[in-house]
């Protein structure tokens, strides 16, 4: 007989979800605190330059700043202060004759702070952009600068200031005896002259308080002074090549080990120096037989100095107002390019030109990407270089026609010539300072336009580079469609 054991009731527990569990889950991200737009690095740099220019303009307008003990025109004071802060070198009056020692000291401080401060700020901003780069680019940054984090920027800035001041002192010390023998001035005056010229040369400022300076800023006193010219050329190169390039060269010491940026800067600079040397020598000495009293070696030395100085610094020995139009056009292009990124020089920068040339060469070779020295240049940097060059060119092409309207009377009277006006406009925007002597003949509106050109030329390319730096990656792409080219 089977015995069926009764089944014991089993309690079943039914769980009801809580009301909170029925609600949808919302996940959120912590909003990153970003500084207001008015406190971003480009705006901080902008405020600093405006404040420095305003303070310098006020000081230069005072009677104590002029040799005559009278108030200087506010426009001339503002023009000179802007030229000094932007290390351009354009002058509406003679720096050596119009300004007193106090005025010269103000100009000295303005170009010192403007050049050194901009070099440190530009290096800081470019390193800041590097923090948003790819891992490979940050590794190159670490190898070049010795840091890949923002904490090392203070040390880098301190090193920049220390090394640059040592270069100032070394350049002044080397030129001191040569300037004293050349001018016959006393110890104190010769020391002031050498320090002023050393700072102006390294900062690529183009200012000089040497005697016998003409109205067109031709330093005829330096003719055949090879020692001073050589030291000035070396200072100009050091200042115009950029801090990152200097550090990379000192660290690696071999061309094959240098970063791509350094290779492009060195190669492009050598090509541009050769171009300037050849253009000046052929046009001014061979074609027209200018300065027949000079030997061939002296002509070559003068052409080499103008090629180095005429692209970034603006020191000129021969009068560019008497130069051939071909020479003016070539040097206008050289000034438009300017120096290297992160340097004291202006222009669109050698790096930008090198990337554009690499694009052209890669396109001719039917490469699908931009290549140089066995490395591929990121597409974002290619777009950035083309954009900067196009916008700067557009600015110059708009400014020059406006000046032809404001200076119509001078152009018709023959006081100004269009090639000279074009040359000086490019020089102002490139913060170069090479001049054909048109600045004193400009109208009030023309001088104000030059002030704006110098200011925009100093701040503009760096601001554009930072503004065009990649912030976030694009998560979508449009469909491709070909267009007809050629």
List, for residues 437-476, the tens digit of each pLDDT value: 888 888 999 999 999 999 888 887 766 666 665 555 556 6
Residue 7: inside a domain:
no
Q: Residue 484 domain-assigned?
A: no
Query: What value does the mean pLDDT take over residues 303-328?
Result: 86
Cα–Cα nearest to 143, from 264, 256, 252, 254: 252
pLDDT in tens, 244-295: 888 888 888 888 888 888 999 999 999 999 999 999 988 877 655 555 567 7
Confirm whether 196 is domain-assigned: yes
Give percent of the chain with pLDDT exceeding 70.
77
pLDDT in tens, 32-43: 555 555 556 566
- Distance between CA atoms of residues 338 and 272, nearest Å: 10
Selection from 166, 175, 312 nearest residue 230 by Cα: 175
pLDDT greater than 60 at residue 195:
yes
Q: What does DSSP assign to residue 472?
A: S
Give the residue from 63, 118, 60, 129 showing the smallest Cα distance to 91. Answer: 60
119-152: per-residue pLDDT in tens?
A: 776 666 656 555 555 555 454 445 444 444 555 5
| Per-residue model confidence (pLDDT) at position 199 | 92
Distance CA 469, CA 463 (A): 10
What confidence score (pLDDT) does residue 168 get?
93
Mean residue pLDDT of the chain comes to 81
User: What is the model's pLDDT at position 337?
Assistant: 93
**Percent above pLDDT 90 for the chain:** 31
Going by C-alpha positions, the residue among 176, 179, 218 that lies closest to residue 89 is 218
Tell me if 367 is assigned to some domain. Answer: yes
pLDDT band, very low/low/confident/very high, at 9 (cuts 50, 70, 90): low
Q: What is the pLDDT of residue 482?
A: 78
- Owning domain of residue 48: 37-467
- CA proximity to 469, closest of 359, 380, 405: 380
Q: Does residue 228 have a pLDDT over 80?
A: yes
Greater model confidence, 373 or 225: 373
The answer to whether the CB of 223 falls within 8 A of the CB of 231 is no
Looking at residues 81-108, what average pLDDT do you find? 90
Given phi > 0 = left and psi -120 to 50 = alpha, else beta, which region is 417?
beta
Q: What is the pLDDT of residues 64-76, one digit of tens each?
A: 998 888 899 999 9
> Is it the case that residue 80 has pLDDT exceeding 80?
yes
Tell me how far apart the alpha carbons of residues 18 and 238 are, in angstroms, rounded to a whole number.
73
Mean pLDDT confidence for 90-100? 87
Residue 299 has pLDDT above 90, yes or no: no
Whether 454 maps to a domain, the answer reads yes
Element (H, E) at 420: helix 418-429
pLDDT of 462: 67
Global pTM? 0.81
Listed ranges 20-29, 218-227, 441-450; the one with the highest mean pLDDT: 441-450
**Beta-carbon count within 10 A of 24 CB:** 4
- pLDDT surpasses 80 at 203: yes
pLDDT, tens digit, 9 for 90 and up, residues 321-352:
778 888 899 999 999 999 888 788 888 899 99
Q: How many CA atoms lie within 13 Å of 67's alpha carbon, on the beta-carbon side?
A: 8
Determine, yes or no, domain membership for 478.
no
Q: At CA 261, angle to CA 260 and CA 265, rounded to 5? A: 115
Q: What is the pLDDT of residue 252?
A: 83
Q: Which residue has better confidence, 81 or 217?
A: 81
**What is the total count of domains within the chain?**
1
Residue 115 has pLDDT above 70, yes or no: yes
Beta bridge partners of 375: 372
**Does 23 fall in a domain?**
no
């Amino acid at each position: 007989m089977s015995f069926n054991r009764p089944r014991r009731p089993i309690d079943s527990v039914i769980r009801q979800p809580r009301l909170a569990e029925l609600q949808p889950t919302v996940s959120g991200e912590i909003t990153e605190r970003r500084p207001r737009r008015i406190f971003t690095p480009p705006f901080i740099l902008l405020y600093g330059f405006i404040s420095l220019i305003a303070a310098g303009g006020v000081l230069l307008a005072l009677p104590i700043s002029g040799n005559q003990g009278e108030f200087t025109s506010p426009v001339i004071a503002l023009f000179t202060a802007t030229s000094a802060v932007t290390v351009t070198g354009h002058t509406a009056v003679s720096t050596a004759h119009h300004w007193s020692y106090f005025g010269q000291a103000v100009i000295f401080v303005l170009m010192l702070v403007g050049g050194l401060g901009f070099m440190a700020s530009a290096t800081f901003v470019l390193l800041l952009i590097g923090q948003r780069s790819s891992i490979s680019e940050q590794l190159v940054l670490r190898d070049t600068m010795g840091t890949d984090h923002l904490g090392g920027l203070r040390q880098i800035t301190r090193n920049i200031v220390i090394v640059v001041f040592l270069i100032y002192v070394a350049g002044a010390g080397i030129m001191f005896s040569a300037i004293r023998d050349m001018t016959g001035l006393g110890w104190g005056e010769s020391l002031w002259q050498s320090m002023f010229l050393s700072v102006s040369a390294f900062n690529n400022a183009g200012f000089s308080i040497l005697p016998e300076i003409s109205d067109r800023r031709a330093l005829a006193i330096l003719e055949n002074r090879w020692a001073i010219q050589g030291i000035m050329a070396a200072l100009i190169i050091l200042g115009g090549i950029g801090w990152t390039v200097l550090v990379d060269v000192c660290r690696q010491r071999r061309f094959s080990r240098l970063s791509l940026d350094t290779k492009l800067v060195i190669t492009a600079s050598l090509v541009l120096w050769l171009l300037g040397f050849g253009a000046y020598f052929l046009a001014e000495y061979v074609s027209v037989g200018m300065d027949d009293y000079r030997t061939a070696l002296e002509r070559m030395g003068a052409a080499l100095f103008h090629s180095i100085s005429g692209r970034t610094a603006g020191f000129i020995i021969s009068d560019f107002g008497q130069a051939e139009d071909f020479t003016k056009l070539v040097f206008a292009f050289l000034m438009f390019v300017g120096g290297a990124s992160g340097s004291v020089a202006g222009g669109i920068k050698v790096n930008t030109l090198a990337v554009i040339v690499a694009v052209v060469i890669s396109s001719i070779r039917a490469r699908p990407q931009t290549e140089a020295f066995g490395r591929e240049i990121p597409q974002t940097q290619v777009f950035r270089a083309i954009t900067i060059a196009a916008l700067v060119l557009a600015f110059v092409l708009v400014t020059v026609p406006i000046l032809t309207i404001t200076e119509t009377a001078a152009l018709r009277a023959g006081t100004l010539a269009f090639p000279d006006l074009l040359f000086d406009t490019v020089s102002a925007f490139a913060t170069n300072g090479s001049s054909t002597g048109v600045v004193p003949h400009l109208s009030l509106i023309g001088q104000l336009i030059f002030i704006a050109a110098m200011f925009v030329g100093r701040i503009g390319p760096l601001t554009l580079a930072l503004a065009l730096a990649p912030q976030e990656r694009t998560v979508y792409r449009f469909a491709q469609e070909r267009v007809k080219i050629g």
